[in-house]
Structure 1
């Protein structure tokens, strides 16, 4: 089910009204002010169609001149809502622009609320590709193919000032922990850590989207959730009162553009186009533009298996 953009943006607005201070905030004493990433402009590349890459696409897509693509708006600065309904801003929007130009086709985009709905849309044939933040795992590779493009390091996100003194995974034991439905889950990590220490496992609270979960953290209805450091940086740039604590027990996660398992030619074409963007420097430029340069990888297909 698609998320109504008006409802999603109302959730964002409510969260901002509840939790935000200024749009430009200072960090610790003496630190440089954080840049408000919502003020960042989208890149405007002008690449020519790469005929060799274009030829890798299935014939039906080449003839149509377009491909149905799922986007998301819940993991800033990778993706977040724009000013207009249906508009996506951030890193994925810049990557879409570059990929469209290199592939020589139009991306016909639809916004989906979470990973679960995107994967269901792929399975049903509603879309052919996602350009989102779906985690590449060995289990998911049984049904899907991933073109990995960024590294996500896990962290425990807590309210500013860390009122409960959460410093490690063990400190989440017995507390209320939030996750977005269908997202890559690290709840099993907390279960293992807590049971191994003879402590109660966290109470899991599930949410339909990330903004609702963030609002619950700010209001104290959940005590922590697993996130990524780059998302915390973005939130702090907005004045959101959050901090994060490392979660090495959960390891790292590769995030990938996704196609159904039987759509390998699409994955190969997208990967080839992405390699063009790596070679011409646009991939690196886009990540650095959104403060994500530290999370760049050498993109590739199903890297979690390697």
Structure 2
């Protein structure tokens, strides 16, 4: 079954599995929200029902949920109608047993009878009326309980909806708070790791001192350049060499490598050695 023009493509399920049902096999598929659906085509084929007619009946019933999924059948992908598993009992109750194939009609009848009995029992419990035929009701005035029970059910449903909405808001707030806590914990851990990985103020001071000396030596050999420009150019070379936004981002583990790099650059420029004396107690910025 193809999508109508302009409609988004059918969803691909996260998993699918053929399951036995009524001596046949029905393709089950799970969507991203975790819900499980059954292929309507397989359900109809298993029960010998007309697919187009059942599709129309389901679409006309607001209690039933029919969606389209793009599933793999053999080596091909096909877009098919799927009925929500939760809705299958309601759908069964709406199917006329005489329309079901003879080979499964008896079993289908057992299931439908059980479902109908379960609904009747639930109605009796709700209203406080006796289970079984209505002839068991001795006083017809007992029927007043029906409307009262339905009103009570409506009130309970309203209260439940309000409670669930409140709980949903609370769950959302809790999730947001938990997410904030996790984010803060992650940031703290990151900062702690960065604090361990970053250079100490003394190491930063040493690198600063060496790069300044390197830039000053370049300025002495290129009088046409201002000293500041020469020093900035050395910082740029240093940052590019270690892929840094600023030299303070240099990991402490690469400190010795950085010192060696500056020494080599200074030696190549001047032919002399430069001492790496740590600038204890100082914290210089670029």
Assess same fold via TM > 0.5. no
Larger RCO, structures 1/2 (Cα 8 Å, 6+ apart): 1
TM-score w.r.t. the length of structure 1 is 0.17
TM-score, with structure 2 as normaliser: 0.18
Higher-strand-fraction structure:
1
Radius of gyration: which is bigger?
2
Comparing both structures, which one devotes a greater share of its residues to helix?
A: 2
